[in-house]
Structure 1
Amino acid sequence: MSDKSTHSKILILDFGSQYTQVIARRIRECQVYSEIVRFDTPAAEITALKPKGLILSGGPASVYDKGAPQIDPNIFSLGIPVLGICYGLMLMANHLGGRVVFSGRREYGASVLHIKNSSQLLGGLGEQLDVWNSHGDEVTALPQGFRVAGTTEGCDFAAVEDPERKLYGLQFHPEVAHTPRGREILQNFLFHICHCAMDWTMGSFIEEACDRVRKQVGDQKVVLGLSGGVDSSVTAALLHKAIGNQLTCIFVNNGLLRAREEEVVQRVFGENFHVRLKYVDASDRFVSLLKGVTDPETKRKLIGNEFIKVFQHATEELLEQDQSNGERKHGGYKFLAQGTLYP
Structure 2
Amino acid sequence: MRWALIGASDIASTRLIPALRLAGQEIVGVFSSSISRASNYAATNDLTRHTDQLDELLSWPVDAVYVSTTNDLHAAQTLAAIRARKNILCEKPLATSVAMASDIVDQSRAHGVILATNHHIRASGVHEMIRRIVAEGRLGELYLARINHAVGLSERLRGWRLTGVSQGGGVVWDQVVHDVDILRADLQSDIVEVTALTSTFGMATAGIEDVSLCNFRFANGVVASTCQSYLVPFGRTSLEIHGSRGSLVATDVLRQDPIGDIVLTDSSGTHGIPVEDRENLYVKTIRRFELACQGIGQPYSTGEDGLEAVRAAAAVFVSAHEKSTVTF
When the two structures are superposed, what TM-score results if normalisation uses the length of structure 2? 0.32
When the two structures are superposed, what TM-score results if normalisation uses the length of structure 1? 0.31
Give the number of the structure whose alpha-carbon radius of gyration is greater.
1
Q: Comparing both chains, which one has the higher relative contact order based on Cα–Cα distances under 8 Å and sequence gaps of 6 or more?
A: 2
